[in-house]
Chains A and B, each alone.
Chain A
Amino acid sequence: DSQMTQSPSSLSASVGDRVTITCRASQSIRNYLNWYQQKPGKAPNLLIYAVSSLQSGVPSRFSGSGSGTDFTLTINSLQPEDFATYYCQQSSSMPWTFGQGTKVEIK
Chain B
Amino acid sequence: EVQLVESGGGLVQPGGSLRLSCAVSGFTFNKFNMNWVRQAPGKGLEWISYISSSATTAHYADSVKGRFTISRDNAKNSLYLQMNSLRDEDTAVYYCANSGDYRLDHWGQGTLVTVSS
- List the interface of chain A (C-beta within 8 A of B): 32, 34, 36, 38, 42-46, 49-50, 55, 87, 89, 91-92, 94-101
Secondary structure at the A interface, as helix, strand, loop or mixed, is loop
Name the CB-closest residue of A to B99.
A91
A44 & B107 in contact (Cβ 8 Å cutoff): yes
A62 to chain B, nearest CB (A): 15
CB-CB under 8 A from B103, the residues of chain A are: 34, 46, 49-50, 91
A97 & B47 in contact (Cβ 8 Å cutoff): yes
- List the interface of chain B (C-beta within 8 A of A): 35, 37, 44-47, 50, 59-62, 95, 99, 101-110
B102 & A98 in contact (Cβ 8 Å cutoff): no
B107 & A43 in contact (Cβ 8 Å cutoff): yes
CB-CB under 8 A from B35, the residues of chain A are: 96
CB-CB under 8 A from B45, the residues of chain A are: 36, 38, 44, 87, 89, 98, 101
A98 & B109 in contact (Cβ 8 Å cutoff): no
B44 & A100 in contact (Cβ 8 Å cutoff): yes
Name the CB-closest residue of B to A49.
B103
CB-CB under 8 A from B60, the residues of chain A are: 95
Pairs of residues from A and B, 7 with the lowest C-beta to C-beta distance, nearest first: A91-B102, A43-B107, A49-B103, A96-B47, A94-B59, A98-B45, A101-B44
A34 & B104 in contact (Cβ 8 Å cutoff): yes
CB-CB under 8 A from B108, the residues of chain A are: 43
A8 to chain B, nearest CB (A): 14
A43 & B109 in contact (Cβ 8 Å cutoff): yes
B44 & A43 in contact (Cβ 8 Å cutoff): no
| Complex CA distance for A43 and B103, rounded to whole angstroms | 15
| Complex CA distance for A38 and B42, rounded to whole angstroms | 12
Name the CB-closest residue of B to A34.
B103
CB-CB under 8 A from B46, the residues of chain A are: 98
Name the CB-closest residue of A to B106.
A46
Name the CB-closest residue of A to B102.
A91
A89 with B104, Cβ < 8 A, contacts A43-B110, A94-B50, A94-B59 known: yes
B82 to chain A, nearest CB (A): 19
CB-CB under 8 A from B101, the residues of chain A are: 49-50
